[in-house]
Structure formats: structure tokens, C-alpha cells
């Protein structure tokens, strides 16, 4: 973290670093303030308590997992395929980003002592991502591009195609995060596989 970064950025960087090193429960606001070179008063004024800091860190990563702006509404099978491909590529790229993987590892390690981490991941990361996919599928269904059915089931199927069991092994450090070319290939395959089942065209 650059020493001339804005105070809020320094606070969040220091907080996340300490959460990773010491665990969420064992990190104090004084330690965060010391590392960020701010006062505790500044922490509460700019961010809030530890839970608010964690939520802000997770939200920052969750926002990156939404559909990229500029994806047009699906009007035919091809534009729907492209929207699904972009969504899949965004998810693969952002969720396997080293900083995001570390947040997941923190959530797993602290699941019993600090369930707030998992709740933040669900609310700030998973929920926005699923909402983006749900919105895309809803528009496609309204236009008759995909079969009528349970959107939750469709989203579950899509994410099943997207991840399989790979994220488990990435979290364990057994597999590496996919490289850009692999992300693009996998995203394309997932979009096409999904449409093979649900497309009406």
C-alpha cells in the first residue's frame, strides 16, 4: 500500500492484510490504525468498526463480479450467448483473483469464530453476482430466448458448469487460477453448453 494513498484506502488495505495474517477476531482496530498510519478516530469516521471494514473490503471485490457495463439486452441467441460468455469470463477472472481467493480462505478459516465474514461474502459478493446473472436470464426468458422454468435452478446449473469442483482445489492451492486464454475458452464452452439445454432457438 502506497504511503501517499488516501486514508480510507490505507485503512482497508491494512485491515485486510491483518485479517489475513492474524484472523478477523484477533485483529484490533488499534493494530489497523497503526499499520494504516491513522488514528482510531479516523477509522471510525472514514469506515466504521471491524465488521464495516470487512464488508467494505468484500463489497469492493463483489462489485467487480457484476456484469460488465455495455452488455446489450439479449435479442437473439447470439447476443444471449455473448452475454453469458462475458458473465462467465468475469466470474472466472474475478473470483480466482489472488486477493479474492485470500478473502475466501479467510472466510473459511474464520467460519466458526467470525461468521460475519461468510455473511459479508454472501451479501456483497455472491448476491450481486447472482443478481446480474438472474437479470440477464430474466430478460432472455421475457423475449422467449430460453425455456420457461425456475431461474434459481438455471443459475445453479450455469454455475455448476462454470466451476465444477475446481474452486475447491484453487482454494487449497492444488490448482492454479486459470490464465486469460483458458478463462475465455471455458467461458465460451459454458455459455454454449447452457444454451444447448435451455435455449428455445
* Other CB atoms within 10 Å distance of the CB of residue 199: 15
Query: How many angstroms separate the CA atoms of 48 and 58, rounded?
Result: 14
Contacts of residue 190, defined as CB under 8 A and 6 or more positions apart, other chains included, come to 84, 85, 88, 158, 161, 162
Q: Which stretches of 76-179 are DSSP H helices?
A: 77-95, 98-109, 116-121, 127-142, 151-163, 166-171
Query: How many angstroms separate the CA atoms of 6 and 119, rounded?
Result: 27
Whether residue 96 contacts residue 178, with contact meaning beta carbons closer than 8 Å, is answered with: yes
The answer to whether residue 173 scores a pLDDT higher than 60 is yes
Question: How far, in Å, are 106, 126, 173 from residue 170 at the CA level?
Answer: 14, 18, 5
More confident: 4 or 50: 50
Which cell numbers in the block locate residue 68? 460488465
Confidence at 120, pLDDT banded by 50, 70, 90: confident
Q: Look up the pTM and report it.
A: 0.82
Which cell numbers in the block locate residue 39? 488514528
Residue owning grid cell 434459481:
152
Domain coordinates of the chain in residue numbers? 7-48, 61-198
Q: Which fold has domain 7-48?
A: Arc Repressor Mutant, subunit A (1.10.10)
CATH 1.10.3720.10 fits 61-198, yes or no: no
The answer to whether residue 100 scores a pLDDT higher than 90 is no
The answer to whether residue 62 scores a pLDDT higher than 70 is no
The answer to whether residue 61 scores a pLDDT higher than 70 is no
Confidence at 24, pLDDT banded by 50, 70, 90: confident
Question: How far, in Å, are 74, 105, 191 from residue 167 at the CA level?
Answer: 29, 11, 19
Predicted local distance difference test score (pLDDT) of residue 99: 80
Amino acid at each position: 500500500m502506497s504511503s501517499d494513498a488516501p486514508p480510507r484506502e490505507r485503512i482497508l488495505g491494512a485491515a485486510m492484510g491483518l485479517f489475513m495474517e492474524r484472523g478477523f477476531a484477533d485483529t484490533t482496530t488499534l493494530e489497523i490504525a497503526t499499520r494504516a498510519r491513522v488514528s482510531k478516530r479516523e477509522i471510525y469516521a472514514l469506515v466504521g468498526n471491524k465488521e464495516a471494514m470487512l464488508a467494505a473490503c468484500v463489497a469492493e471485490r463483489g462489485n467487480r463480479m457484476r456484469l460488465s457495463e455495455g452488455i446489450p439486452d439479449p435479442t437473439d441467441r447470439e447476443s444471449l450467448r455473448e452475454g453469458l460468455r462475458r458473465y462467465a469470463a468475469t466470474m472466472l477472472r474475478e473470483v480466482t483473483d489472488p486477493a479474492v481467493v485470500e478473502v475466501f480462505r479467510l472466510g473459511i478459516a474464520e467460519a466458526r469464530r467470525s461468521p460475519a465474514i461468510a455473511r459479508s461474502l454472501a451479501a456483497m459478493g455472491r448476491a450481486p453476482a447472482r443478481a446480474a446473472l438472474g437479470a440477464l436470464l430474466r430478460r432472455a426468458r421475457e423475449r422467449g430466448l430460453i425455456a420457461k422454468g425456475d431461474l434459481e435452478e438455471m443459475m445453479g446449473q450455469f454455475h455448476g458448469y462454470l466451476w465444477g469442483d475446481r474452486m475447491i482445489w484453487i482454494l487449497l492451492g492444488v490448482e492454479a487460477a486459470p490464465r486469460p486464454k483458458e478463462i475465455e475458452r471455458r467461458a465460451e464452452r459454458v455459455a454454449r453448453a447452457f444454451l444447448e439445454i435451455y435455449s428455445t432457438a
